[in-house]
Amino acid sequence: MTEDFRFWADEHQKRIENFMMRFLKEESSNSLIHEVCSHGSLNGGKRFRALLCYAIGEISKTDKLILDYIASSIEFIHAYSLIHDDLPAMDNDDLRRGKPTCHIKFNEAQAILAGDGLQSLAFHILSLPSFLIDDQKKLKLINSLSNTIGINGMVKGQSLDIENTLKIGEIKGLEKLQELKTGLLFNFIGSATYLVSDNPSEIINIKITNLCSLLGKVYQITDDILDYESNDKVLGKTSGKDRKDNKLTYVSLLGINEAKKINSKYFDDIKEIINSISGNTIFLNELILKIYQRVH
Amino acid sequence: MTEDFRFWADEHQKRIENFMMRFLKEESSNSLIHEVCSHGSLNGGKRFRALLCYAIGEISKTDKLILDYIASSIEFIHAYSLIHDDLPAMDNDDLRRGKPTCHIKFNEAQAILAGDGLQSLAFHILSLPSFLIDDQKKLKLINSLSNTIGINGMVKGQSLDIENTLKIGEIKGLEKLQELKTGLLFNFIGSATYLVSDNPSEIINIKITNLCSLLGKVYQITDDILDYESNDKVLGKTSGKDRKDNKLTYVSLLGINEAKKINSKYFDDIKEIINSISGNTIFLNELILKIYQRVH
């Protein structure tokens, strides 16, 4: 990792934290539900999704005051999905980023409500008058995000994952499930960030969308590998849970070596796409490397 | 109840059911999550909120093809909130409208996900190109709805309700809580329906908003009275739960007689507002009477 990237990532991590905090803390910050929402969304996450927005924005020099809205709405959606995923009825996780999950620190009811409220907040942010893009584009974003995370998207993927009806060898089924659960939100990051750029080019748009789609896969396969190889302390959450829960993952379906091989192939495909894009792809390049090589 | 009203209510109940079904069943209807969402939202509800949209729309003769979108998004939000409220960690209800609740018929995880997905669906509907109002108005609706149901609105009210920290005599606290939990969505129905009318008049808008605000109170107090006086079979859900859970309600705070007196006063205030509105208020008048006099 270069010094330049480290500085850029730090700066933008702080930027998005401040932006998210503003929405959560501005009003009636003394209520319990705000506390639960803060715990679940301002908890030292890596902000890969927000950084991906800003890194893509660097290519077309998109106004950061605009990217803030997209990045924060995606991070709030991501936070809501983690809070609900961690619930006892779902993945039953006690730890997230090395801290107690919302239902452990508070209780299940407040955790459910915090997730619900953060989802509303994400749509609220995209509808704000202070978000300075065309009304038509705002509606496109809301339309696409609600589809991405809804009953034909993320929620459907999570529902299939909980059902856990896949059998060994059903790699296509797993790919479809992961595409719904994780991939579509990465696709949204690409298309949304490109939609608000000043000089959108259809070719770059397609490249960015393909790149984000591959990155979603890399993110998920890396997650599966980490769950298999890591321990709680490094991971900041309960490791080996997939095996314990008999969940089918890329590792359990393909074996650890084959999973790593596929992951490496997807990563090479991403690099090829990046190399074909003109514009400032330095930060995007390093961010993707960081996602691929992460240890937690 | 007049024959005319019965016919009108039946017709519009069917209308909204069909509209909601279209969104839920059109795509990939063979998945479990669609089944859970259908069970939780197309389950013979009374559709008071949708009927309220159409009844207000009659005053200014608003296009029903437009009202369908508002009414269905509100009904999906209402359904999501009921599915989550019924969860074991929240109100722990096994029955809803005489049928097993989502987490009983399916499981907790699928119930949480169905609620999440229905929330997204509500915002999706308001962002659709086929919803034929100005983009600016659509964004106003999305902005207002996300605020109404979010961490400064419905979710906050529910969080306070679950905390259950009110003491006997804190009628102001209970009013605030109920305003957040139930009232704001009624206010939204009024302002949203009026926003899309062809000839919005500021005076009627204020009257309608006041009326909806009072109706929210009447709805909640009637709920409390029914929980106190009714039995499971008539109510279609577990009765007497508030007492069992030591929940403070209008009845436990004021006694049954005083609660009825206040409810009757609010109802008279509503009638006064209706009498001051010119236009077709026949159906609105009868709908409100039905809400006030309902036995379940």
* Three-state secondary structure string covering chain B: CCHHHHHHHHHHHHHHHHHHHHHHHCCCCCCHHHHHHHHHHCCCCCCHHHHHHHHHHHHCCCCHHHHHHHHHHHHHHHHHHHHHHCCCCCCCCCEECCEECHHHHCCHHHHHHHHHHHHHHHHHHHCCCCCCCCHHHHHHHHHHHHHHHCCCCHHHHHHHHHHCCCCCCCHHHHHHHHHHHHHHHHHHHHHHHHHCCCCCCHHHHHHHHHHHHHHHHHHHHHHHHHHHHCCHHHHCCCCCHHHHCCCCCHHHHHCHHHHHHHHHHHHHHHHHHHHCCCCCCHHHHHHHHHHHHCCC
**Rounded to 5°, angle at Cα A103 from A51 and A156:** 60
CB of B127 closer than 8 Å to CB of A146: yes
For residues A97-119, average pLDDT: 96
- The candidate with the shortest Cα–Cα distance to B29, out of A157, A156, A167, is A156
Single-letter amino acid code for the residue at B285: N
Residue B192 has pLDDT above 60, yes or no: yes
pLDDT value at residue A110 = 98
Query: What residue ranges define each of the domains in chain B, with the CATH number in brackets?
Result: 3-293 (1.10.600.10)
Contacts of A132 in chain B (CB under 8 A): none
Q: Measured between CB atoms, does A264 come within 8 Å of chain B?
A: no
8 Å CB contact of B117 and A156: yes
For residues B51-56, average pLDDT: 97
Residues of chain A with pLDDT > 90: what percent?
75
CB of B280 closer than 8 Å to CB of B59: yes
pLDDT value at residue B235 = 59
Residue A27 has pLDDT above 70, yes or no: no
Residue B38 has pLDDT above 80, yes or no: yes
- Greater confidence, A118 or A296? A118
Report how far residue A181's alpha carbon sits from residue A30's, in angstroms, rounded to the nearest whole number.
34
CB of A83 closer than 8 Å to CB of A101: yes
From A123, A138, A150, residue closest to B117, measured CB to CB: A150
pLDDT value at residue B236 = 65
For B293, other C-beta atoms within 10 Å of its C-beta total: 10
Q: Measured between CB atoms, does B127 come within 8 Å of chain A?
A: yes
8 Å CB contact of B159 and A36: yes
A3 Cβ contact partners less than 8 Å away, ≥ 6 residues apart: none
- pLDDT range class, residue B227, cuts 50, 70, 90: confident
B247 Cβ contact partners less than 8 Å away, ≥ 6 residues apart: B161, B164, B241
pLDDT in tens, A44-73: 789 999 999 999 999 989 999 999 999 999
Mean pLDDT of chain B: 91
Residues of chain A with pLDDT > 70: what percent?
94
8 Å CB contact of A142 and B142: yes
User: What is residue A99's DSSP assignment?
Assistant: E
pLDDT value at residue A229 = 86
Q: Provide the β-strand partners of residue A100.
A: A95
The 3-state secondary structure of A61-92 reads CCCHHHHHHHHHHHHHHHHHHHHHHCCCCCCC
Report how far residue A58's alpha carbon sits from residue B236's, in angstroms, rounded to the nearest whole number.
57
For residues B43-60, average pLDDT: 93
CB of B281 closer than 8 Å to CB of B8: no
Torsion of CA B197, B201, B204, B208, to 10 degrees: 40
Q: Measured between CB atoms, does B132 come within 8 Å of chain A?
A: no
Residue B124 has pLDDT above 60, yes or no: yes
Contacts of A87 in chain B (CB under 8 A): 109, 112
Tell me which of A54-68, A114-128, B114-128, B189-203 is least confident.
Answer: B189-203
Characterize the bridge pairing of strands B95-96 and B99-100: antiparallel
Single-letter amino acid code for the residue at A195: L
Q: Provide the β-strand partners of residue B100.
A: B95
Tell me which of A18-32, A111-125, A251-265, B129-143 is least confident.
Answer: A18-32
- Greater confidence, B134 or B25? B134
- pLDDT range class, residue B257, cuts 50, 70, 90: very high
- pLDDT range class, residue A230, cuts 50, 70, 90: confident
pLDDT value at residue B140 = 98
8 Å CB contact of B28 and A156: yes
For residues A186-207, average pLDDT: 89
3-state secondary structure of A55: helix
Torsion of CA B127, B129, B131, B134, to 10 degrees: 80
Residues of chain B with pLDDT > 90: what percent?
75
CB of B221 closer than 8 Å to CB of B259: yes
pLDDT value at residue A42 = 94
Report how far residue A123's alpha carbon sits from residue A73's, in angstroms, rounded to the nearest whole number.
7
Contacts of B34 in chain A (CB under 8 A): 151
pLDDT value at residue A54 = 97
- pLDDT range class, residue A260, cuts 50, 70, 90: very high
- Greater confidence, B203 or A104? A104
Residue B210 has pLDDT above 90, yes or no: yes
Which residue in A has a C-alpha nearest to residue B147's C-alpha? A124
pLDDT value at residue B142 = 98
pLDDT value at residue A28 = 59
CB of A161 closer than 8 Å to CB of A177: yes
pLDDT value at residue A232 = 59
For residues A152-165, average pLDDT: 92
For residues B196-215, average pLDDT: 89
For residues B133-156, average pLDDT: 97
DSSP codes joined into one string, A146-166: HHHHSTTTHHHHHHHHHHT--
Tokens of B275: 């009498």
pLDDT value at residue A29 = 63
8 Å CB contact of B142 and A123: yes
For residues B160-170, average pLDDT: 82
8 Å CB contact of B159 and A31: yes
Helix (H) or strand (E) holding A245: none
Tell me which of A81-95, A196-210, B122-136 is least confident.
Answer: A196-210
pLDDT value at residue A35 = 95
Report how far residue B217's alpha carbon sits from residue A33's, in angstroms, rounded to the nearest whole number.
23
Report the phi/psi class of residue B45: left, alpha or beta, with left for phi > 0 and alpha for psi in -120 to 50.
beta
3-state secondary structure of A100: strand
CB < 8 Å from A in window 139-198 of B: 139, 142-143, 146-147, 149-152, 155-156, 158-160, 162-163
Residue A233 has pLDDT above 70, yes or no: no
Mean pLDDT of chain A: 91
**Rounded to 5°, angle at Cα A262 from A284 and A92:** 85
pLDDT value at residue A294 = 86
Residue A178 has pLDDT above 60, yes or no: yes
Q: Select the residue from A146, A148, A181, A188 to test the B interface by mutation, using most B Cβ atoms within 10 A.
A: A146
CB pairs under 8 A between A and B: 161
A229 Cβ contact partners less than 8 Å away, ≥ 6 residues apart: A256
Q: Measured between CB atoms, does A26 come within 8 Å of chain B?
A: no
Q: Measured between CB atoms, does A281 come within 8 Å of chain B?
A: no
Q: Provide the β-strand partners of residue B99.
A: B96
Single-letter amino acid code for the residue at B255: G
Q: At what angle do helices B32-41 and A154-163 cross, to 10 degrees?
A: 110
Report how far residue A135's alpha carbon sits from residue A127's, in angstroms, rounded to the nearest whole number.
9
pLDDT value at residue B85 = 96
Tokens of B54: 């159409």
8 Å CB contact of B107 and A123: no
Q: Measured between CB atoms, does B34 come within 8 Å of chain A?
A: yes
CA distances from B86 to A190, B90, B108, B126 (A): 37, 6, 10, 26
Query: Distance, in angstroms, between A169 CA and closest chain B CA?
Result: 21
pLDDT value at residue B232 = 58
Q: Provide the β-strand partners of residue B96.
A: B99
Burial of A129 (0-12, 13-18, 19+ CB in 10 A): exposed
Q: Provide the β-strand partners of residue A95.
A: A100
- Greater confidence, B24 or A16? A16
Query: Distance, in angstroms, between A176 CA and closest chain B CA?
Result: 13
Q: Could you report the predicted ipTM of this complex, rounded to two decimals?
A: 0.94
User: What is residue A104's DSSP assignment?
Assistant: H
CB of A96 closer than 8 Å to CB of A45: no
